[in-house]
Copies of this chain bind each other. A is one copy, B any other.
């Protein structure tokens, strides 16, 4: 099923940004060595160090799930536990890849807004030292969260401090970290490594790339031998230059943040346009590029005949509308009109 109309289903329904496509095409000249030993990849690694600081190690990956899972499996042993939100992609949308690949238990903390707090982790530390229990070892947070909300730097630092104190690593699923940075008007480093994150899954795909994900180890010791885990996790692209070219384009000029800003702005505009409608209830703060809303079931069905999007919670008639780098105000106009029509 393809749509001539803009999709509000997911930011990954968008095509590849032209500048990124152009960069891939520019890289499509002549033979280069595979598996990352090429100039495009060297350049992209350099960009990552400019952005995140030189004391990092970075590895390029094919999928967001791959980045999360390979990264987590590398920094854990199977008897460890990974603490995350009950809204986490890790917990809900990776078809059990974390359990299969890491062997770890996932400890899901209830969360209304997709964010977790240190106080919620405390009871689970009781397990530490008892041989019958999986041993908490990693806290994983998502920035921006699956619900479009963002962690303030202070919140991250608090979790990071808590993690460090209890000998836990802090992983950040940054599938939409660009949106969070845009929302907070902070650099990517300020909301990740500088705030205490040990390991970041950095996502380019939802921000206009074709398939470009990276693992950034701020804690470099943890990166030792990761090349083997990447390969064993089936995440090593042979023609690596094409991932690298995507990152080079994203980090050239301000493309990454412009893309994210547009997506965020469009969500904000969408929210503003509908928040006066009495039969719609917006359920989450619109801090990045998602709008979560409850509306009558019939309206949902009617609207879906025209636009594709996902029902987030079928029991609540809650939908998720995502905007992306290529959403325009005209798209919003059309969509809002369709919403109004659907509501009758």
Contacts and interface: CB of A to CB of B under 8 A. Distances in A.
Contacts of A132: 92-95, 231
A100 B123 contact: no
Contacts of A131: 35, 95, 227-228, 230-231, 236
Contacts of A326: 31
- The binding surface of chain A is classed by DSSP as loop
Number of copies: 4
A211 B228 contact: no
Contacts of A211: 62, 211, 237-239, 242
Interface string A16-47: 10000100010111111111011110000000
A209 to B, nearest CB: 9
Given A31-B7, A239-B205, A234 B69 contact: yes
A234 B237 contact: no
A225 B129 CA distance: 9
Interface in A126-177: 126, 131-135
Interface string A214-244: 0000000000010111111111111100100
Contact of A228 (B64, B69, B95, B233): B95
Interface core residue of A32, A63, A132, A234 (most chain B CB under 10 Å): A234
Contacts of A15: 27-32
A40 B237 CA distance: 22
A137 to B, nearest CB: 10
Interface stretch (A77-85, A182-190, A266-274): A77-85
Size bin of chain A's contact surface: 35 or more
A305 interface: no
A317 interface: no
A124 to B, nearest CB: 11
A217 to B, nearest CB: 16
B315 A123 contact: yes
23 contacts: A1-B33, A3-B30, A7-B31, A7-B33, A9-B33, A10-B34, A15-B31, A15-B32, A21-B28, A62-B234, A63-B234, A63-B237, A63-B238, A66-B234, A78-B229, A78-B232, A79-B95, A79-B225, A94-B234, A96-B103, A100-B103, A100-B232, A132-B231
Interface of A: 1-7, 9-10, 12-16, 21, 25, 27-35, 37-40, 62-66, 69-70, 73, 77-81, 92-97, 99-101, 103-106, 123, 126, 131-135, 205, 210-211, 225, 227-239, 242, 308, 314-315, 324, 326
